[in-house]
Amino acid sequence: MNQIIKDDVSSFQQCSRNKNIHHKKFGLLKPLQIPSGPWNSLSMDFITQLPLSSNFDSILVVVDRFSKMAIFIPTYSTITSLELAQIFINHVFSKHGLPISIVSDRGSSFVSSFWTQLCQQLKISRDLSTAFHPETDGQTERVNQILEQYLRMYVSYHQDDWHTWLPLAEFAYNNAEHSSTKQFPFFTIYGRNPSFHSIYISQDTPAGKLSTKLQSIQQVVKEELESAIKHFKKYVDRNTAIPPDFQPGDQ
């Protein structure tokens, strides 16, 4: 009798359309491809609705998906694609060149509009592989949480000076061990730790040794990223299920 009732209920289309869904969310995690090297693939996001600090109310967070190096740029919520492109040129392109792909939780239309303006500003024609999947990356969201925690510790009581702390926050973040790579982002990029002294004395490292050292570091980073993605996928897939294989005529 119970089976007959279940079959009748499952075949009732109106019930199926309107009742609450209690099964796991369909679709296993499809991680983004690991970047081939530093600054080839970036993630971009905004921290918004901040107290005004010298007319800024938002922070643009740009993260290199390979080294995990981050750039924190004060901006405002009404920024246009053209203005964002100019900021990108000043803070990212001028130091690291053009990326191959950009990941943003804001969606592919946002990235495409920004990329169009960027190419116009640079007077170039280049295709960009845009990617949008809120659960495939998530790294900028984690960086945002760390940055917000840092700013809460150091901003003034009136919270109107947070933009002055961004350079130090960026320095601190890039010189801390990342949980995914087990490396300092700064060290991954430059092959050395930054100097804290007023006068920097060069170690006169031969170019060949430095190149080998950087290659070794970046190989370790790649292996750690692969391991981190496997663990992240395993964690997300616990709460998801393989989607059903619908055939023509199924309802």
CATH number at residue 126: 3.30.420.10
Residue 134: its pLDDT value, please? Answer: 45
Residue 104 CA to chain centroid, in angstroms? 7
Residue 91: its pLDDT value, please? Answer: 96
Residue 56: its pLDDT value, please? Answer: 95
Considering its fold, how many domains does the chain have in total? 1
Beta-carbon contacts of residue 151 (< 8 Å; ≥ 6 apart): 162, 165, 169
State how far the Cα of 99 lies from the Cα of 101, in Å rounded to an integer.
6
Tokens 């246009």: give the residue.
80
| 204 conformational bin, left if phi > 0, alpha if psi -120 to 50, beta if neither | left
Beta-carbon contacts of residue 102 (< 8 Å; ≥ 6 apart): 41, 42, 43, 44, 111, 114, 115, 128, 130, 131
Render pLDDT for 31-83 as a digit per residue (tens, 0 to 9). Answer: 677 888 999 988 888 888 899 999 999 999 999 999 999 999 999 999 988 89
Tell me, yes or no, whether 211 lies in a domain.
Answer: no
Tell me, yes or no, whether 220 lies in a domain.
Answer: no
Tell me, yes or no, whether 7 lies in a domain.
Answer: no
Tell me, yes or no, whether 12 lies in a domain.
Answer: no
Contact of 240 with 26, CB cutoff 8 Å? yes
Residue 116: its pLDDT value, please? Answer: 85
Residue 240: its pLDDT value, please? Answer: 63
Residue 58: its pLDDT value, please? Answer: 93
Tell me, yes or no, whether 173 lies in a domain.
Answer: yes
State how far the Cα of 228 lies from the Cα of 216, in Å rounded to an integer.
18
Domain range enclosing 148: 41-177
Q: List, for the chain, all residue ranges whose pLDDT scores fall below the cut of 50.
A: 15-20, 131-136, 198-201
Contact of 137 with 43, CB cutoff 8 Å? yes
